[in-house]
Amino acid sequence: MALTFTLQQALTVPLEVISVNHASVSGQSVDQIRGLPVLHGNRRLTMGDFFDVQQTSSDEDLLVWSGDCSRVKYIGAGLNAGQIRVEGNAGMHLGAEMTGGEILVEGDAADSIATEMKGGTLCIKGNAGDLVGAAYPGSKRGMNGGTILIHGNVGNEAGHRMRRGTIVIGGTSGEATGFDMIAGSIFSFGKIGRRLGAGMRRGTIGLFGESDEPELLPTFKYSCVYRPTWLSFFLRELSTAGFPVPDNCFESEYRRYCGDFLALGKGEILVRQ
């Protein structure tokens, strides 16, 4: 069944809902779900103290979070199957360590979403904060699989230490995108900040919104101009999935830069001609 959690009050203190997931609500009555524990600051309360919980349709494996959940943390953390829809904004650690399933946010998302994600799809229709698909502090690896689609802007250090997977950014990006990137792919359709790809070892960063020479670190070297065959297929799949791809990207040639030569130096940055 589909369940809708409607936030009943404005939050000034973050609320952690890591205990509320598909497994914990499966087979439970609405009253039992209202009794699930949540953490409000340092106080242990229940879902019913903050949310109206209703069975809203017969759709299977769908959880809907409604209202301004910008201070609701860990929505969809550990998701491995099923769907989550956030009808508004979402808080920190959205989709943390998810391994499968789908999350759709119709508004904005806070910092540290999809931390150490391993699979599934996360789509943000609005903007996202810093450290998208990144590693936890002190961890050696960030995102290790899956797809993140952000239609708006992102903050700093998107893809920090990512190992696998794909991040697509429709708007502007902050500084140090792909910082310490181990592998994987990041594609940007807007302006991008400084220190792009700093410390990257492998992987691909594609810049589709920048035809001018980007401000690259001196540890990247120009390689060639070419048209990657795989890239046109990827862009068409992206367009078919509903992500806006400008027509001039499909047949463009790209300038290729290799680096970061302070690290392994096998990464590439592609810049649309």
CA distance to 11, 77, 114, per residue, from 119 (Å):
30, 12, 10
Q: Are 98 and 74 in contact (CB under 8 A)?
A: no
Q: Are 84 and 21 in contact (CB under 8 A)?
A: no
Instruction: Give tens-digit pLDDT for 97-155.
Output: 999 999 999 999 999 999 999 999 999 999 999 999 999 999 999 999 999 999 999 99
Instruction: Give tens-digit pLDDT for 157-191.
Output: 999 999 999 999 999 999 999 999 999 999 999 99
Looking at the predicted structure, is the pLDDT value of residue 203 above 70?
yes
Pairing of strands 204-207, 185-188: parallel
Could you tell me the pTM of the whole model? Answer: 0.96
pLDDT at 210: 67
The candidate with the shortest Cα–Cα distance to 257, out of 223, 216, 214, 229, is 223
pLDDT at 22: 95
pLDDT at 82: 96
What is the pLDDT averaged over residues 44-52? Answer: 98
How does residue 56 score in pLDDT terms, banded at 50, 70 and 90?
Answer: confident
pLDDT at 221: 96
Between 81-90, 139-148, 186-195, 247-256, the lowest mean confidence (pLDDT) is in 247-256
- Cβ density class 137-153: b for 16+ within 10 Å, e for less: eeeebbbbbbbbbbbbb
Bridge partners (DSSP) of residue 87 are: 66
d(CA 273, CA 270): 9
How does residue 267 score in pLDDT terms, banded at 50, 70 and 90?
Answer: very high
Determine the residue type at 208: F
Instruction: Give tens-digit pLDDT for 213-235.
Output: 788 999 999 999 999 999 999 99
pLDDT at 32: 97
pLDDT at 23: 94
- The mean pLDDT of the chain is 95
